[in-house]
Homo-oligomer: A and B are copies of this chain.
């Protein structure tokens, strides 16, 4: 969960701040969280955080951005691989679901960011950033839409509106965000097992035949 300031170059040097902030935002929600809370949970000074972020909103936006980037990082290579539509769909959905569980604190912030945008209690400047972040999320969804529509054309999946199918698929795969709680002694196989049940439900929902999803 912790990250060092000397992490590999693809990680932001202040990933520990993002991690702590994501946990605080998840526990208390955006409006009830202060920079003080984040500093305290990090055992750092507020100064260290203000060195990187002008405001709580900036920090929140970067948590959102980082959360989405982590999703792109694991899903894009599968989408761009030369694999079959069936393999891509199975692998992308399962990978997304595992990411929701593993990076739950970041993904809850993504969810709350979308809510903030819809509810509109934001400054025009914040709104601009949120719209840009929402576009990032939309682009991510489009990667899945492309594969979903290919699956429909190839007769692997069967649904009416691809927009509704996409929403329902994400609701299933994102579902652990709302009820999963990390427990002592839980290992990778527990997460794998939960993600597997959510993914099977989603793929069945998309009209895939049982023999194509049996070992997801």
Which positions in A face B, CB cutoff 8 Å?
A: 27-29, 31-32, 115, 119-121, 159-161, 164-165, 167-168, 171-172, 174-175, 178-179, 194, 197-198, 201-202, 204-207
Contacts and interface: CB of A to CB of B under 8 A. Distances in A.
B159 A197 contact: yes
A169 to B, nearest CB: 8
B205 A172 contact: yes
Contacts of A27: 119
7 contacts: A31-B31, A167-B175, A168-B201, A171-B171, A172-B172, A202-B205, A204-B205
Copies in the complex: 2
B202 A32 contact: no
A87 to B, nearest CB: 21
A175 B179 contact: no
Nearest to A28: B119
A212 to B, nearest CB: 13
A43 to B, nearest CB: 23
A27 B178 CA distance: 21
A27 B119 CA distance: 6
B32 A119 contact: yes
Nearest to A112: B115
Contacts of A160: 197
A216 to B, nearest CB: 12
A81 B159 CA distance: 31
Contact of A194 (B164, B197, B205): B164
A132 to B, nearest CB: 20
A152 to B, nearest CB: 14
A172 to B, nearest CB: 5
Given A160-B197, A167-B175, 20 more contacts: A27-B119, A29-B121, A31-B31, A32-B119, A32-B121, A159-B197, A164-B197, A165-B201, A167-B178, A168-B172, A168-B197, A168-B201, A171-B172, A171-B178, A172-B172, A172-B205, A201-B206, A204-B204, A204-B205, A204-B206
